[in-house]
Amino acid sequence: MEPKYRRILLKLSGEALMGEAGYGISPEVMFKIAREIAEVHALGVSMGIVIGGGNIFRGISGAAKGMDRARADYMGMLATLINALALQDALELEKVPSRVLSALEVRAVAEPYIRGRALRHLEKGRVVIFACGTGNPFFTTDTAAALRALEIKAEVLFKATKVDGVYSDDPIKNPAAQKYNSLSYDEVLSRGLKVMDATAISLAREYGLPVLVFDMLKSGNIKRAVCGENVGTLIGG
């Protein structure tokens, strides 16, 4: 299989890392994702990864319960760092070289994020895991994914989630919900589709960054997406 894309940004859902559990990290899911990333890495594809933290703590959920929003968001950023370190560990077991770069300085466990350093790691064939979002409260990891994708000059942003694409409604609650094969950025915004936050979609639209949404738990989907097969929903592009 020949890759269609040579450099990608993969956004992984933190909540999907729970597997069947209600909290935390499922080792089985993490190792499965690591194996799939290893397959893509073996194709010579340059890869950056942004990972969410919803399996541990979501800042917006803490704020809804009375916490200071900025402080809650910083806690959420640290949750993404935990996930990033777990993914790095799983990748090492698959013999895939990787580095964790954090937007918040936590030098004991991760390198500080510097764009030039990230690009050098990618050029040397390492998978770069971006932790702690943008380093700023009030911004989601979706926005961080769009930002990092543009910074590393990725050809596409892969948003890997628990569903197999973008639907007109929640497919679990509404069996009649329609799945879209493709959408424009404006359609996502005007229809209020909850695939990514508006800031991330607007940033992708401004710079023409395609976004592919697909199911990360279906075996082989990351490799299929990299090779240009018809999986999920393509936004823009």
Token pair for residue 62?
A: 């803490």
The confidence score (pLDDT) of residue 236 equals 95
Residue in the block written with tokens 């030039």: 116
- H helices within the chain, ranges in order? 27-42, 59-64, 69-93, 115-123, 141-151, 185-190, 198-207, 221-226
Tell me which CATH homologous superfamily contains domain 7-235: Acetylglutamate kinase-like (3.40.1160.10)
What pairing do the DSSP bridges indicate for beta strands 98-102 and 111-112?
A: parallel
Q: What is the dihedral of CA 229, 153, 206, 165, to 10 degrees?
A: 30
221 is in an annotated binding site: no
137 is in an annotated binding site: yes
116 is in an annotated binding site: no
pLDDT digit string (tens) for 61-120? 999 999 999 999 999 999 999 999 999 999 999 999 999 999 999 999 999 999 999 999
pLDDT digit string (tens) for 166-199? 999 888 888 899 999 999 999 999 999 988 999 9
Residue extents of the structural domains in the chain: 7-235
Q: Which residues make beta-bridge pairs with 100?
A: 129
167 is in an annotated binding site: yes
169 is in an annotated binding site: no
The confidence score (pLDDT) of residue 175 equals 87
130 is in an annotated binding site: no
12 is in an annotated binding site: yes
Q: Which residues, at least 6 apart from 140, have a Cβ–Cβ distance to it below 8 Å?
A: 133, 197, 199, 200
CB 131 within 8 Å of CB 198? no
- H helices within 68-192, ranges in order? 69-93, 115-123, 141-151, 185-190
Residue in the block written with tokens 């200071």: 68
What pairing do the DSSP bridges indicate for beta strands 211-215 and 179-180?
A: unpaired
R_g of the chain, CA atoms, integer Å:
17
140 is in an annotated binding site: yes
